[in-house]
Structure 1
Amino acid sequence: MVHPKRPQELFQLFAATTSLPGVGAKLAAILEKRVGSYVIDVLRHLPIAIIDRSQKPPLDAVIDGAIATFDIIVVKHDKPPRGVRRPWRVFCQNDTGSIELVFFHARDDYIQRLLPVGERRIISGRTEIFNNRVQMAHPDYVVKPDEMASMPEIEPVYPLTAGLTPKVLRRAITAALATIPTLPEWIPPSIMATNNWPDFASAMRTVHAPQNEADLLPNNPARARLAFDELLANQIALNMVRQQAADTVPGRIFAGTGTLTRALMDNLPFALTKAQTNAIAEIKSDQESGKRMLRMLQGDVGSGKTLVALAAMLHVVESGAQAALLVPTEVLARQHYQSLNKMLAPIGKSASLLLGQGRTGSGRKDTLSGLADGTIDIVVGTHALLSENVAFADLGLAVVDEQHRFGVRQRLILGQKGNGVDVLVMTATPIPRSLAMTAYGDLEQSRLNEKPAGRLAIDTRVMPNDRLDQVIDGIRRALDAGKRAYWICPLVEESDKLDIAAAEDRFASLVRALPAHKVALAHGKMKAPERDEAMQAFRDGSAQLLVATTVVEVGVDVPEASIMIIEHAERFGLAQLHQLRGRVGRGADKSSCILVYAPPISDTSKTRLTVMRDTEDGFVIAEEDLKLRGPGEFLGQRQSGVPEFILADLGAHADLLSLARTEARRMATDGTALTYSDMLLSLFERDSAVRYLAAG
């Protein structure tokens, strides 16, 4: 096999979506939210269904609700009088019957030009039978007979979001397909032939032009080939991490003196759980082994991960090195900064805080200077820690919290800021063992599956929304008694504007219903100072009720809050419900969680709510979530913030994963991986493409 250098043509796949015809800044912002920022992201956004427009039934034999195409003559227009709010109707016919086309909020010139009286048109859309008349509201297509070729008989259906229409997305995808270069083949000919797989460019074009339902299945050759590419890239990325760890062997031995860790334990007002003790021992063993640590600490909500991480950091500090805690948001960074210093104060130590580049001043300069000269030995920070201008005197341990929000690339960057840096990643979203070994095969694993002693169970109840008045009455009594509560507003759809509108409406109604109590509002689109002010009011008790979107899902710790109301709970996934419920049950008071749903709900939603009512064990919930959603969805965007796999489904493509592991090992052995890693990693495992994106 010839091993050519990476072709420069590949860079055009990483052009911004604004490089595509018809994609301006506004549409690019919408695409970034639902699809991604680059041309390759548009290509990886695959159809989930098809619309068959080949059905052309007689107008007197139309099936209600069916998609159909008709060749008609425009007979007359029924234009609504000015100021009258009713639809514009266009009456059409052919030899088999008549049909009414219905348009709401129509513009005069548009409808007249689209459907001139007396002319022939081809129309396609969803038909309805209303008062024994055939109707079609806002046809999907209206074309002249000589433009019939512009209307596809089989049309792919894509996931959309507010502001993104099928027509606009299809145009972007068509333009993106035209940018695909001819790339050298990285899959061995024997594998290609055995599986009857097309080349990369052909596979991309094929998956965007399904001709039947079978073409949408995971085992379709084009889809399977792209899934294998993604899995192969993932395995190469994991091999890179393993190799980097191996390159540091014999690595460093962090022996520690035990003075700081013993002092920490002696000053704790509680006893460690057995799971915490085991995790600390496993991490300490790694630190003292001389082999670089790459370990994931899975801990359920409230299981005490932060304490375990602090013990690991102090062990490194005892050895004369530094430790860094990387977190995804400023809110979470401040939270960790405060909680770590609360535990460190009794033993005479402290942690520093480093936030984004936009923050200037002497404090930031002092922190950068202290990290560089070693006077700061523990730091908490956001992505700012990854910046080139952040240098450490001797970084020994990098702890990554909410690790699913950081890719392999970020782990590598932080790990490269020192000599043989140990890496400990943490997640508060329990992952079933079967998926953890697949998605995070580069990491050893420790599990915290116990709650700290003294933690009370959370009383979880499920109620229909016709009992909302009772819920509000209960909240009023609780607030009168001095308690604090969260009220989480529903996910309306994938639109921040709609979610925020729901939160603001509920906030207004609760302010009216609870005039004797201060209600605060927090959502993701508020300016940071306003949101921080609302959160602080809730923390200090000046506001007793916090109305919020899922901005509170991770990183909000108010032990005094003991009530959680989740409205439209049927719209949330199990993992998210579990995370939200975990915001309560952190203090001395008995806590409760009320899941409010709007009937009727699906069997799957009923099962979710029942699981939540019956257990608080995050690992049990994760296993149930896996059963309900399947492997592909479990590691999807709602679950973890960033999709682990976009094209591959861990359930349907288990055999391909095994093949990818074998092939990645072979490529690493014979050197092929060095030739193709830039292409594969940039296309399918972009967070891991350490060199490629920098070059782009």
Structure 2
Amino acid sequence: MATELVYARGRRSSKLSSQWYSAPVRLARKGAAVAGAVASDDWTGMSRPLERVLGKRSANALAKIGLKTVRDLVYHFPFRLAKRGELMPISQVTEGESVTVIARVLSVNLRPMNSRRGFILTIEVTDGENDLSLTFFAKSPRPLQYHERRLAPGTVATFSGTVGSYRGQLQLSHPEYDEPDSEKMGRPIPIYHAAEKLPSWKIEKAVETVLPTLSEADFPDPLPAAYREANGLPGLFEAIQILHHPQDVDPWERARLRMKHQEALVLQTALAERGRRAREHAVKPYADQGGKLLEAFDAQLPYTLTDGQRAVGREIAADLARQIPMQRLLQGDVGAGKTVVALRAMLQVIDSGGQAALLAPTEVLAWQHLRTIEALLGPQHVMDVGLEILTGSLTAATRRRTLARIASGQAGLIVGTHALLSEDVQIPFLGLAVIDEQHRFGVDQRDRLASGVHTLVMTATPIPRTIAMSVFGDLDVSTLRELPAGRAGITTTIVPAANPVWMNRVWQRAREEVDGGGRAYVVCPRIDPEEGQASVTETATNLRADSALAGIGIGVIHGQMGQDEKAQAMEEFATGRVPVLVSTTVIEVGVDVRQATLMIIMDADRFGLSQLHQLRGRIGRGSAPGLCLAVTGVPDGTLARARLDAFASTTDGFALAEEDLRLRSEGDVLGASQSGGVSHLQFLSVLKDMDIIEVARTAARHLVLEPLPPALADEVALLERADYLEKG
């Protein structure tokens, strides 16, 4: 009798407006064709369009929040529970926002309007502590009398709408409302992510219509039985029923825990499977046999490697000596010496007859790597190694010569940008791909260069362990925490932009640094002027006219300049001919000018914590101490100011990475906020659920050794089709 029950629900509910259910929709029994449908034999219980189940108007309303199929709706879970009167305290509502409150009607007043024709129904409601006005308008009293009867004093209902105000008092005009069934009065209320015209309780009613048409067979469980038993978790169908129809808080939390494990296991299995695929084809081993290039390099190093560099170097050397492809992430704080570690690995491969490629995200960084490697190797060893660079700005003739040297094997070490990923680039003896600042490349780009070879990806943005497991779970992780000896340290000060005395002192200090033989960066968030933001062009013009910097060369560099212009600007800055450089974040990563001692960041509140830390890392790289001045106009007590205070409090990149997680939202961490999308993870917090991620990661690495259970394999495929891993 499921068919009759659902039909009766759609027909009976006087609580639902005509805009929600346009007409009764008779649902087919499970396994039968949908009545009246031009049936698709491919539809399953979960893939049915909601229009076939709920009717066109209801389906259109749900489609506006991305719910188009039965699966979409069933997997749109409530994100929290509320008790009666605790849904949204009236004291927290503010004008202009969409809210849902549960309240009791205090009084009802229907009267003619004074200033124009028509009638107004005013209803005062309370949540027990605060009151709120509801207003309904009509040309005649009859439609208002309907609401007056339903919302008699003492009635408890859910009210949803956009908060407005009238004569200083907050009110909801023509709110949507629903009276809870008496049988539900003692139960928690599931709260769904909703919209102004689609309040939470309407989504709840749609779920109540759809869920009874499904059975456990519609929900193959991705969690293997042994995993569920080991962690005391309910099955998937049971958990879904509890989440949508909560009887009490404890079972609901247990169901949420189960879904956290599911998301963690699916994600970790996808990462483990990707790692397994990357390692399943044997590659040429490159054992460290004391080759002449690596020995000579170590002998001429002007400083001693840190303990961390030596330890990580041994890990990488051991990986390269195996036939299993190395898949390793090398993370380290700014200035920790990752480039030296990577160069030693590349020399190990070249000593054994292979080629190595270093992929950088920008031309500025690629050329900086080239200059750094040249300085570390010395002129003779540059020739022995066969050092080349390939970028998009090379002339056609130079590019042809470079491609020929790479294809012939004469070029042993190739530094390049995205140009390395072009189809006409042939690196026949490629043994090691090093990818710098890998978060700027998609996984497909990484695989285009590094598929089937030893791979070392590097980042100067310290990654907390929980994020590393969730985003880089297919990689082994090595960490450099020590900084090389001899660094004098960096001091950071926040400068109020509105204080002219402080700002004058900023430019005086720049003069003092230059007069003392230093260099000064001035970083702006924009190239060209825009109201309310510092720009490179305007700032450079102002500084050239500033008496504090009279006679001092002011250079500029930004992403819209040609490579020759950028290279010239960096050379003039490094040599001191132009000791003040006004820049965008194009100098954020990898730029290494040892004489740079001052970093001035304009509108510092417009940069993220990791970006600020990277910018600060461009100074204090020699023996002279560094000073970072973060200029901002944001007041105390704001999130932006909290970020700057954290930035000024420490130069420890790992501590800042943890603080960055604390201050950011989950969507930001996973990249969803920037893209305007929704995080794939509804339940799992990569910030808080490290224990669950650990358990899932261990299980996943065992599961991928055998064919995956079908339900888990399907969820992994769904995740990969959603490009979640690419975005990570």
Which interval holds the TM-score relative to the shorter structure? 0.5 to 0.7
Q: Is the 8 A contact 1:631 1:650 kept in 2?
A: no
Larger mean Cα displacement after TM superposition, 276-285 or 422-431: 276-285
Q: Is the 8 A contact 2:524 2:602 kept in 1?
A: yes
Point out where structure 1 has 5 or more consecutive residues left out of the alignment.
1-6, 14-20, 22-30, 80-89, 102-113, 146-152, 159-164, 491-495
Amino acid at match of 1:261: L
Report the counterpart of residue 462 of structure 2 in structure 1. Answer: 430
Distance 1:47 1:144 in 2: 18
Is 1:467 equivalent to 2:512 in the alignment? Answer: no
Amino acid at match of 1:195: L
Aligned residues: percent identity? 32
Q: 1:144 to 1:649 in 2, by over 3 A?
A: closer
1:540 Cα deviation after fit: 1.9
Distance 1:212 1:510 in 2: 65
Which residue, 662, 672, 686 being the options, matches 1:650? 686
1:474 Cα deviation after fit: 2.4
1:9 Cα deviation after fit: 8.9
Larger-gyration structure (1/2) = 2
Where 1:672 maps in the other structure, the secondary structure is coil
Which residue, 78, 87, 94 being the options, matches 1:65? 94
Report the counterpart of residue 489 of structure 2 in structure 1. Answer: 457
Report the counterpart of residue 94 of structure 1 in structure 2. Answer: 121
Q: Is the 8 A contact 2:359 2:434 kept in 1?
A: yes
Distance 2:115 2:600 in 1: 50
1:592 Cα deviation after fit: 0.4
Distance 1:56 1:446 in 2: 46
Q: Is the 8 A contact 1:294 1:423 kept in 2?
A: yes
Distance 2:485 2:87 in 1: 69
Distance 2:477 2:400 in 1: 36
Q: Is the 8 A contact 1:407 1:687 kept in 2?
A: no
Distance 2:352 2:361 in 1: 28
Report the counterpart of residue 233 of structure 2 in structure 1. Answer: 195
1:321 Cα deviation after fit: 0.7
Which residue, 232, 249, 257 being the options, matches 2:266? 232
Which residue, 704, 724, 727 being the options, matches 1:668? 704
Q: Is the 8 A contact 2:331 2:480 kept in 1?
A: yes
Distance 1:643 1:617 in 2: 31
Question: Counterparts in 2 of 1:91-130, with a 5 A limit?
Answer: 93-96=120-123, 125-127=161-163
Question: Counterparts in 2 of 1:325-474, with a 5 A limit?
Answer: 325-346=358-379, 347-349=381-383, 350-355=386-391, 361-406=396-441, 410-417=445-452, 421-433=453-465, 436=468, 440-467=472-499, 469-474=501-506
Which residue, 579, 587, 600 being the options, matches 1:565? 600
Distance 2:248 2:621 in 1: 49
Amino acid at match of 1:473: R
Q: Is the 8 A contact 2:264 2:692 kept in 1?
A: no
Amino acid at match of 2:478: S
1:537 Cα deviation after fit: 3.1
- TM-score, scaled to structure 2: 0.63
Where 2:561 maps in the other structure, the secondary structure is helix
Amino acid at match of 2:693: L
1:564 Cα deviation after fit: 1.9
Is 1:280 equivalent to 2:313 in the alignment? Answer: yes
Q: 1:407 to 1:659 in 2, by over 3 A?
A: farther
Q: 1:317 to 1:154 in 2, by over 3 A?
A: same
1:678 Cα deviation after fit: 6.8
Q: Is the 8 A contact 2:118 2:139 kept in 1?
A: no
Larger mean Cα displacement after TM superposition, 308-317 or 336-345: 336-345
1:609 Cα deviation after fit: 4.7
Distance 1:488 1:128 in 2: 43
Q: Is the 8 A contact 1:487 1:548 kept in 2?
A: yes
Is 1:248 equivalent to 2:282 in the alignment? Answer: yes
Question: Counterparts in 2 of 1:556-635, with a 5 A limit?
Answer: 556-567=591-602, 569=604, 573-587=608-622, 589-598=624-633, 600-602=635-637, 609=644, 611-625=646-660, 628-629=662-663, 635=669
Q: Is the 8 A contact 1:489 1:506 kept in 2?
A: yes
1:578 Cα deviation after fit: 1.7
Which residue, 521, 545, 564 being the options, matches 1:486? 521
Distance 1:508 1:43 in 2: 54
Give the aligned length: 598
Where 1:529 maps in the other structure, the secondary structure is coil
After superposition, the C-alpha distances for 1:521-555 in whole angstroms (9 at most, x for unaligned) are 666xx6x3369846853652476555555454324
Amino acid at match of 1:431: I
Where 2:704 maps in the other structure, the secondary structure is helix
Distance 1:681 1:547 in 2: 47
Where 1:341 maps in the other structure, the secondary structure is helix
1:686 Cα deviation after fit: 6.1
1:264 Cα deviation after fit: 2.7
Q: Is the 8 A contact 1:233 1:684 kept in 2?
A: no
Distance 1:643 1:414 in 2: 30
Where 1:397 maps in the other structure, the secondary structure is strand
Where 1:376 maps in the other structure, the secondary structure is coil
Which residue, 680, 687, 690 being the options, matches 2:716? 680
Which residue, 292, 295, 309 being the options, matches 1:259? 292
Distance 1:570 1:590 in 2: 24
1:457 Cα deviation after fit: 0.9
Point out where structure 2 has 5 or more consecutive residues left out of the alignment.
1-40, 48-55, 57-64, 125-131, 148-158, 179-188, 211-217
Report the counterpart of residue 26 of structure 1 in structure 2. Answer: none
Amino acid at match of 1:474: V
Report the counterpart of residue 84 of structure 1 in structure 2. Answer: none
Q: 1:47 to 1:402 in 2, by over 3 A?
A: farther
Is 1:314 equivalent to 2:347 in the alignment? Answer: yes
1:458 Cα deviation after fit: 1.0
Where 1:195 maps in the other structure, the secondary structure is coil
- TM-score, scaled to structure 1: 0.65
Q: Is the 8 A contact 2:293 2:351 kept in 1?
A: yes
Q: Which gives a bigger RCO, structure 1 or 2 (Cα 8 Å, sep 6+)?
A: 1
Q: Is the 8 A contact 2:308 2:480 kept in 1?
A: yes
Report the counterpart of residue 569 of structure 2 in structure 1. Answer: 537
